[in-house]
Amino acid sequence: MHSFLRDMLLYRRFEEAAEEAYAIGKIGGFCHLHIGQEAVALGMIGPLRQEDYVLTAYRDHTQALAKGVEAGPVMAELFGRAGGSALGKGGSMHIFGADVGFMGGHGIVGSQIPLATGIGWAIRYRGGDEVCVCFLGDAAVNQGAFWESLNMAAVWKLPVIYVVENNEYGMGTAFRRVSALPVVERAGGTGVPAHAVDGQDVLASWRLMERLVADVRSGAGPQYVDARTYRFKGHSMSDPVSGTYRSKEEVEGRKREDDPITRLRDRLLDAELLTKKELEAMDGEAREVVNEAVRFAGESPPPSPEELYSHAYAEINEHGRLFLDGRDR
């Protein structure tokens, strides 16, 4: 359980450092922070093996870390540097770590759901026992991609676990305002079994996932999880923490009552399984890892200009032009 706290502290410190770096212009573009949702990433990814797969949407830094992508390359990717996990070509929304089964952050709401379904298809095609976990936001359940994917996964009994990070808001629109039914009921009609869990409770999330992963590995078919959580920051860095769509009181209340890190910390302290000194040391370690990641990112050079055309295609054909402006590629 100490490791749970250590990991979640790392995620929190990483995101805080990203927020700071964004504020001083080291990070550009969109940057969606995961602060407040750490227990979902850890609880849902922790029980996986390295050869299992994870895909997610654009709020992807923490899931990448949880699946085993190193903090340095993730931060360097946010900085747009050559040492980034995608060589600086993906940025915040597209962290990849194929070697550890992290199959990417994806920027179009719902677009990763069919991809995860396809990875599940490939696992079954090859007769393997890996599992694919697909994170999606609550807003993504209103995409056709969601319905189409769950239907096919159910028909073909694919080894995919669809985890809704239900933080109650799709950007600035409260889920309840735009959905006919609660998240947990949205898989209804596809035959995919639905489970709800307190996503701010890392132990509950981990236990549920342990069970589901074992079931899916032994052929139970797809599963659907409503992981109830809350984001403490805005939708992205351009969105204030509280604004037109949710009150300051609401956010402050949730931060006070429902912080997954505070909740685990207090549980451990109360049970005397953790001392304040140990806690401080743990937090210090997390900060050191993040500082090192920031240092690595800062020292990594920008991608060289030749990289503009590289990796657009995996195979450059012998004949013909692939790039109409790249005669001298």
Partner 1 sequence: MEITTTRAMANITYREALNQALAEEMDRDETVFLMGEEVAEYDGAYKVSKGLLDRFGDRRVVDTPISELGFAGLGVGAAMVGLRPVIEFMTFNFSLLALDQVINSAAKMYYMSGGQISVPIVFRGPTGAALQLSAQHSQACASWYVHAPGVKVVTPATPADAKGLLKAAIRDKDPVAVMEGELLYNVKGEVPDPEDGDFVIPLGLADLKREGEDVSIITHGPTVHIALMAAQKLEKEGIEAEVVDLRSIRPLDVDTILASVRKTNRAVMLEEGWPFAGVGSQVVSIIQDEAFDDLDAPVVRVTQADVPMPYAKNLEQLAKPSADRVVDACNRVLYRS
CB of 210: closest distance to partner 1 in angstroms? 24
| Using rule CB under 8 A, residue 104 touches partner 1 | yes
Instruction: Tell me, by CB under 8 A, how many residues bind partner 1.
Output: 52
Q: Do residues 131 and 213 lie in contact, with contact meaning Cβ atoms separated by under 8 Å?
A: yes
CB of 321: closest distance to partner 1 in angstroms? 5
The span from the CA of 136 to the CA of 113, in Å, is 8
Tokens of 241: 């923490």
Tokens of 138: 């609550």
Residue 125 or 189 having the CB closest to partner 1 = 125
| Using rule CB under 8 A, residue 306 touches partner 1 | no
Per-residue contact string for residues 262-281; x = within reach of partner 1 by CB under 8 A: --------------------
The burial class, CB within 10 Å (0-12 / 13-18 / 19+), for 316 is exposed
Residue 115 or 282 having the CB closest to partner 1 = 115
Q: Do residues 290 and 17 lie in contact, with contact meaning Cβ atoms separated by under 8 Å?
A: yes
Residue 152 or 294 having the CB closest to partner 1 = 152
CB of 103: closest distance to partner 1 in angstroms? 6
Q: What is the DSSP string of 231-280?
A: -SS-SSTTS-SS-SSS-HHHHHHHHHH--HHHHHHHHHHHTTSS-HHHHH
Sheet holding 160-166, edge to edge: 102-105, 53-56, 132-137, 160-166, 223-228, 194-198
| Using rule CB under 8 A, residue 107 touches partner 1 | yes
How many angstroms separate the first and last alpha carbons of the chain? 52
Span interacting with partner 1, options 213-221, 238-246, 247-255, 308-316, rule CB under 8 A: 308-316
Span interacting with partner 1, options 106-114, 172-180, 261-269, 278-286, rule CB under 8 A: 106-114
- Given 24, 180, 271, 324, the residue binding partner 1 (CB under 8 A): 324
- Residues binding partner 1 (CB under 8 A): 53, 84-90, 94, 96-99, 103-104, 106-108, 111, 113-123, 125, 144-145, 148-149, 151-152, 155, 310-315, 317-324
